[in-house]
Structure 1
Amino acid sequence: MTGLLDAPWFYWAVGVAIGFPVLLILLTELQNALRRRGSVLTRPVYLLRAYILPLGALLLLLVQAIQVNGEATPVRIVATVFGFVVLVLLLSGLNATLFQGAPEGTWRKRVPSIFLDVARFALIAVGVALIFAYIWGANVGGLFTALGISSIVLGLALQNSVGQIISGLLLLFEQPFRLGDWVDTATARGRVVEVNWRATHIETVAGLQITPNSVLAGQSFTNLSRPEGAHVITVQTVFALNDPPDDVCELLTRVAATLPQLRPGVQPSTLPLGGTEYATTIPLRSPADDAAARSTFLRWIWYAARRAALHLDEADDDFATEERLTASLRIVAPALRLGPGEESELVAHARLTRYAAEETLQFAGEVPRRMSFIVNGNVKLFVAGDDGEVVPVRTLSRGDFIGQTALTREAVSASARAVDEVTVVQVDREHVEELVARKPLLLQDIGRTIEDRRRSARRALAAVRD
């Protein structure tokens, strides 16, 4: 018995016999706990339990307990497999601890995958070299020397291409923009759709612009998408010198505030630049809305300036002539219950004007100051649902009217938006009151219209809720 206890292999055999199952149980419990938590360390612990622990125990038994020579082929094979599994564990553990669990916005999260691939390749190369050098006794120094000389030769031959690749890698690492961001460079303005080692692909209105990363890395450019929610455009306009600046600023700001591309919760602003120039700053949801917002704004202020008797681009408006107004009143005469010749009496109190397509003629909840009678075009009535969606009520056309609650001084229940260019005859409240005083049937018509449109709005909302 004393000879057995003194044997050098005895304690190694007992240690492996006791330690292996104990460690196996502990690692199994740890793996199950990590799996339940969804931890990124589950795979490294699995590799440790399923491969490294058994191979390590086998290696100890062969070398220490059975005392097989370390240079024997079976020992070298087991040691080689053990070394490869340790290398895989090292790669998996570093990836899990450093990069998979990295918080958003940190440098670890921004590291491009190509950097990780290069680091993995270098680690594998060093690991394999160490395995062959220490386990099999191979001379790997000559191989590394040859690879180093070859790398220098290839680098000199391909310095331009390699320079672009390095610039691309640095650009990827810094990440001044992401896919989908809008950038403004010296050569292109558009949305980033692809970034590779060599070039950045920018989608512009003229097509796909391919910009080498070395060019981007060597010049300044603007990321229009960062910071988020801070993108604005500035539109400059010119009005006549005699137009009151306050009236012009109020008009431009009011029109900009109704743009569909406007960023919610933020208001536009207008500043006079001196002389006849004005600058309107419009906050937008995205740089993708730039062209549409600018086009819509310029189109709408063309109509709004003429309605406000202001002179955009110092131009006069000769649309509302007396002949055209008289002809328009004949079209809307049935809605006003005007008899033959009575429209001429209303010429002095009516106004002919136009609205652009998609422009809003009235907003739900406002109290109209006049009634508008449609001469040409179509107007869509709509209400806002519980979650803000647009619920159509009906479409008005030639001969219909809006602003019917001007007489009762109540808020309208539905908004009105032009489907196409709309021409209307507007009559102020006091002159409509004079008409209904002489024509009681007109008052009844207006009252029925008010109730009918309220019922239509309620039915439309109820249909959406159901």
Structure 2
Amino acid sequence: MTTPVLDLLHAIEQASPSSLTLVGVLCGAALLLHILQLRFAGKGAAGALSLFKWLLVLAALRVLEVQVLRDTWATFMMVLHGVVIWLAFRAILHDLYAGVWLARIQKRPPNRILLNLLSFAMTLFLVAYGLRSVLGVDVSSLLTSSAILTAVVGFSMQDTIGSLFSGLLIQTEKPFKIGDWIKVGELEGQVTEVTWRYTKLTTFAGNQVLLPNNAVAKERVVNFTEPFPEVSLVVPVPAPLAAPPVRVKSSLEEVLRKAPLVSKNRAPRVRLAEITLDHALYRLVFYVDDYEDVYAARSEVLSAVWYEFHKQGIEFPMARRRLVTGPRKAPQKHGDLTELLSGVGLLEGMREDELELIVQCAAVRTYPPGASIVEQGQGGTTMFLIAEGEVAVARDGRELTRLGQGDLFGEMALLTGEPRQADVTAVTPVRCLELDREAFRGVMDKNPQLVANVTRVFQEREAQMRQAPRPDGEASAQGLFDRFRRIFW
């Protein structure tokens, strides 16, 4: 009487020494690779070592089956082959593809749903093959007989199955990925995980929310991270009607320029959006590099606006009414500033009341020594008149000249929109008058002499360009005059 154990021992006795030696060498090599795999755990080489290990085990089983056991333990060897093939497939899928190719080379998270789907399909194939080869079960008839049961189960679990297929579609179409900030319906959060059944979000409050994938597929999804991570913010700021727009805009632009969380990749903008009975509404349009900083950036900008308005003497409007019974207060005069403006060639021939209007529509700016007033290449639509102090004008890091009281700079940016051609830095404490394009346009419409002054400025600019070569990229005098005509006429 024979037993499987006796048959195994007899097969080993009949096997050739070379076959047994080969099986031992293959198993020893697989054991060595397993030790190296543990040594390099967490590194890219571990995936390749795992695959080679299971290939060596598979080769050892094949030699053992063909050269040693032959027909002995055939069923057991078939099952063992299937297990090792599944382990080798798992090493290719999880260790090499997900762990090395995606995580280390592509630098992106693996698609867990796709990995699980492929693993399930491989398992199903090996089980079906084993049932057919070992037990002789007809898999096709088994599937046919269970069709009714499948329909009943599918109807009772339609929500769960819907979530599974929605999760597969999300992973296939990739409307968002792990780490993106999204808005699903009215819920905002950062995607931390996407599984078969749900999408996990972490909100600003730190709460974790599990959204069924079929609910995500039905809702309107907004991705704040794609196609670019910068997020646009529009912050309304009310200001009093008495404050000139150039003064308010200049203050708000200064706030946006200094705010650390405002993106430097895209230029912020300030727009006068609305004028009501009791206030003027300005809109600050700027970008934040990361959606996670949206609320912090909004708070930072609004706080800086409060302090800047307080420094400039601009009061926030309040919904109030008051009855004035006393005599009307005479408008404040700025004799020193109007006198300086009268000596500027661009404003030659203007009446005192027109100069006073320019002062009232302008913003008075102060700068400490070393402060940057304008930067080379920077856009702008304002010009500056120095009332007190001295500034240095430099281009490409080389100082060209110095300007003092009564001197004007930045006029070409106001007239033509040309980028600033030089850096202007305060040498001493500086007080200057900043005039914007809107105020200049209003004055020019009332005084034709101003048009003749502007024409003379361009003629002088053309004469200067003939005497000295202009820098690369600087427009000609005629080109600048054409820009002026398009803007003001």
TM-score by length of 2: 0.51
Deviates more, 1:18-27 or 1:293-302: 18-27
Return the alpha-carbon distance in structure 1 between the equivalents of residues 228 and 372 of structure 2.
Answer: 37
Determine whether 1:232 maps to 2:232: yes
1:59 aligns with 2:58: no
AA aligned opposite 2:50: R
| Aligned counterparts, 1:127-206, within 5 A | 127-192=126-191, 195-196=194-195, 197-204=197-204
1:84 maps to a residue whose letter is V
More deviation in 188-197 or 80-89?
188-197
SS at 1:183 equivalent: strand
Between the aligned partners of 2:108 and 2:144, the Cα distance in structure 1 is 34
- Give, in angstroms, the shift of residue 33 of structure 1: 10
Which residue identity does 2:295 align to in structure 1? Answer: A
Distance 1:48 1:115 in 2: 24
The 8 Å contact of residues 181 and 189 in structure 2, kept in 1 or not, is answered as yes
1:252 counterpart letter in structure 2: L
Aligned residue number for residue 297 of structure 2: 293
Is 2:311 aligned against 1:304? no
How many residue pairs match? The answer is 312
Change over 3 Å in CA distance of 1:41–1:146 after alignment to 2 = farther
Q: 1:167, 1:214 within 8 Å by CA — same for their partners in 2?
A: yes
Deviations 1:358-392 (A, max 9, x none): xxx998954999xxxxxxxxxxxxxxxxxxxxxxx
What does residue 119 of structure 1 align with? Answer: 118
Equivalent residues in 2 for 1:49-448, closer than 5 Å: 49=56, 51-62=57-68, 70=71, 74-103=73-102, 112-192=111-191, 195-196=194-195, 197-204=197-204, 211-227=211-227, 229-263=229-263, 267-273=267-273, 275=275, 276-313=280-317, 365-366=370-371, 409=428
Task: Flag the 1:122–1:185 CA change in 2: closer, same or farther, 3 A.
Answer: closer
Q: Structure 1 residues 271 and 214 mapped into 2: Cα distance closer, same or farther (>3 Å)?
A: same
Task: Give the conservation status (yes or no) of the 8 Å contact 2:369–2:428.
Answer: no
- The whole-number CA distance in structure 2 between the counterparts of 1:303 and 1:213 is 47
How big is the shift at 1:60? 1.1
1:263, distance to aligned residue in structure 2 (A): 3.5
Distance in 2 separating the partners of 1:207 and 1:95: 30
Q: Aligned-pair distance for 1:43?
A: 0.8
Partner of 1:41: 48
Q: Separation in 2 of the partners of 1:198 and 1:56?
A: 43
Q: 2: CA distance between counterparts of 1:207 and 1:184?
A: 15
Structure 2 residues without counterparts, runs of 5 or longer: 1-14, 321-365, 374-385, 387-426, 431-489
Partner of 1:322: none
Checking the alignment, whether the CA contact within 8 Å between 1:99 and 1:109 is kept in structure 2 is no
- Quote how far apart the aligned CAs of 1:46 are: 0.8
Question: Residue 76 of structure 1 contacts residue 136 of structure 1 at CA under 8 Å; is this kept in 2?
Answer: no
Are the aligned partners of 1:177 and 1:223 in contact in 2 as well (CA < 8 Å)? yes
User: Contact between 1:55 and 1:82, CA under 8 Å: does it hold in 2?
Assistant: yes
Relative to structure 1, the CA distance from residue 277 to residue 143 in structure 2 (aligned partners, 3 Å threshold; closer, same or farther) is same
Shift of 1:141: 4.1
CA pair 105-245 structure 1, distance change in 2 beyond 3 A:
farther
Distance 1:191 1:155 in 2: 32
Letter in 1 for 2:47: V
Report the Cα distance in structure 2 between the residues aligned to 1:293 and 1:313, rounded to whole angstroms: 23
Going from structure 1 to structure 2, the CA distance change for 1:266 and 1:364 (only over 3 Å counts) comes to farther
Amino acid at match of 2:65: L
- CA-CA distance at 1:218 after TM superposition: 2.4
TM (norm. structure 1) is 0.53
Name the CA distance, whole Å, in 2 between partners of 1:363 and 1:25.
Answer: 78
Deviations 1:178-213 (A, max 9, x none): 455332333223444555513544525597665443
